[in-house]
Amino acid sequence: MNRRDLLKYTGAAGALALLAPRLGTAGGVRHATGTPRRLLMVMCQGGWDTTFAIDPKEQGPKVDVPAGTLKRYGSLDIHTNNAAGGWPSVDTFFTKYAPITAVVRGISVASVSHNECVTRMSTGTRDESNADMGAIVANDLGNDLPLPYLILGDTAFTGPYAVSAGRVGATNQIIALLDPAQAYPTGSATPFRPTGAEEAILAKFANASVTRARATRGSSGYNKRRLDDYLSGIERGKKLRTVRDGFGARGRTLTLGSQVDLALGALEQDVSQAVMLNTRLQWDTHDNNDADQAMFHQTTYAGLTRLIDQLATRPGRAAGTKMIDDTVVVCFSEFARTPRRNIRGGKDHWPVTSALVMGAGIRGGRAYGATTADIQGQPIGFATGNPSATGKTLTSQHFVGGVLAACGVDAGQHLADPEVFAPYRA
């Protein structure tokens, strides 16, 4: 072990120390108002056709619907198709998990631009410099974890909390930081891995360095905080290594199944508080809408079933609980598809969408919010989630605020409109 190796070790610890809560814009400030919960987001980026499952309609002159049947799961009506070429995983999912799943219908995004609507459905605002749901939950509830916000998809908004986030994808830096072959290049096919004794020497060196620095210039104030961050960064790095293999190889994007495995590991081992996943499917079906949306719904709901299956079996943070008891899952898209098919058999962008909120503290088994026969948002009462002539339009800001509230975050500290839509909170 030479001096260069020591510098790499301490350099890596310093990089991880940048994730320390004291360095974020919010400085580890907590805005909790309820039971703190973890958050998993599954983004169906590109615009899903809500008539395929979660907002069923009857075929008519104003709307084209796919083949299939309406099925009720308690009080929840869902469009299904278990025939060959259909999407039977939708039926499988709701048969198992309708009681803990709330469908939120009629969310207005007031735009049909992909970028605009991804921003609005993720952050509840029109400004991409603001933080999304995951970044806020991570900052407010888990900023002392090794990697508070783990981003596995293509799109996320970290805003002022970028210091608490890390991205895994084709060019991610996490792999380079944790891969021994890149941390300690040897020029051979066999990467160098420090032994336990060598790790102890490195730790002793790091602690001795901190002790010297404390004695000379780091006994108080800013310098003391940075030294504390340095030591805690080493510990966070060790914890990150526990899920290292799940990050895959540099240059590789993770499938939804691989993302589910990594997300579950990161939450279960208290590496992260929030994770953003992406289905990585081409939901923007301007052509061949029915065949493509069928395949995408089948893949996505199979992934959701696997995700909730695992949350329901893995141990939770409190004794005698499961992860599903302290985790909220939200599945959403930036907008929906037009009611009618176009001349190419596709459907175009539509500024009203629906979403799923599942898991801990969710009063499921029914839909909240409503749309008309041609997928227009209806005014609703925010206390009940039912259509109301004296109600108001449900917007993406209200939706995001409701998810934050379900996670135990004070949404009013992050959004301009403090009113949230969360009648599904138990």
Which residue, among 96, 105, 379, 139, has the nearest Cα to 273 in the 3D structure? Answer: 139
pLDDT score at 248: 54
424 falls within a domain? no
Instruction: Give the end of a domain, one of 222, 249, 276.
Output: 249
Q: Which helix (H) or strand (E) holds 359?
A: strand 352-359
Residue range 20-34, pLDDT digits in tens: 444 334 444 556 677
**HSE-up of 39 (CA within 13 Å, CB side)?**
34
State how far the Cα of 332 lies from the Cα of 278, in Å rounded to an integer. Answer: 10
pLDDT score at 20: 46
Query: Once rounded to an integer, what is the mean pLDDT over residues 355-383?
Result: 97
SS3 96: helix
Q: Could you tell me if 51 and 57 are in contact, meaning their C-beta atoms sit under 8 angstroms apart?
A: yes
285 falls within a domain? yes
Instruction: Give the end of a domain, one of 231, 249, 267.
Output: 249
421 falls within a domain? no
Instruction: Specify burial of residue 319 (Cβ count, 10 A radius: 0-12, 13-18, 19+).
Output: exposed
DSSP code for 361: T
- In a shared domain, residues 161 and 227: no
State how far the Cα of 236 lies from the Cα of 29, in Å rounded to an integer. Answer: 20
62 falls within a domain? yes
338 falls within a domain? yes
pLDDT score at 247: 59
Q: For a pLDDT cut of 90, what percent of the chain falls above it?
A: 65
Higher-confidence residue of 320 and 253: namely: 320
- In a shared domain, residues 91 and 220: no
pLDDT score at 178: 63
Residue range 394-416, pLDDT digits in tens: 999 999 999 999 999 999 999 99
- In a shared domain, residues 192 and 94: no
Residue 226 has pLDDT above 70, yes or no: yes
425 falls within a domain? no
Number of domains in the chain: 2
pLDDT score at 243: 63
Residue range 69-125, pLDDT digits in tens: 999 999 999 999 999 999 999 999 999 999 999 999 999 999 999 999 999 999 999
Instruction: Report the chain's mean pLDDT, rounded to a whole number.
Output: 87
Residue range 128-157, pLDDT digits in tens: 999 999 999 999 999 888 889 999 887 999
pLDDT score at 13: 44
Q: Could you tell me if 214 and 227 are in contact, meaning their C-beta atoms sit under 8 angstroms apart?
A: yes
- In a shared domain, residues 313 and 395: yes
Q: Out of 28-42, 124-138, 302-316, which region has the weakest mean confidence (pLDDT)?
A: 28-42
Residue 16 has pLDDT above 60, yes or no: no
State how far the Cα of 294 lies from the Cα of 303, in Å rounded to an integer. Answer: 14
426 falls within a domain? no
10 falls within a domain? yes
- In a shared domain, residues 48 and 196: no
Instruction: Give the end of a domain, one of 249, 267, 291.
Output: 249
pLDDT confidence band for 195 (50 / 70 / 90): confident
Query: Once rounded to an integer, what is the mean pLDDT over residues 257-263?
Result: 91
State how far the Cα of 224 lies from the Cα of 48, in Å rounded to an integer. Answer: 50
Instruction: Specify burial of residue 285 (Cβ count, 10 A radius: 0-12, 13-18, 19+).
Output: buried
- In a shared domain, residues 44 and 62: yes
- In a shared domain, residues 262 and 351: yes
pLDDT score at 251: 46
- In a shared domain, residues 391 and 363: yes
- In a shared domain, residues 310 and 359: yes
Which residue, among 359, 358, 364, 366, has the nearest Cα to 332 in the 3D structure? Answer: 358
* Range among 192-196, 206-210, 317-321 with highest mean pLDDT value: 317-321
State how far the Cα of 384 lies from the Cα of 386, in Å rounded to an integer. Answer: 5
- In a shared domain, residues 149 and 177: no
pLDDT score at 2: 39
Q: Could you tell me if 29 and 262 are in contact, meaning their C-beta atoms sit under 8 angstroms apart?
A: no
- In a shared domain, residues 156 and 208: no
The CATH number of the domain where 52 resides is what?
A: 3.40.720
- In a shared domain, residues 267 and 314: yes
Domain holding 218, by residue range, is: 1-30+173-249
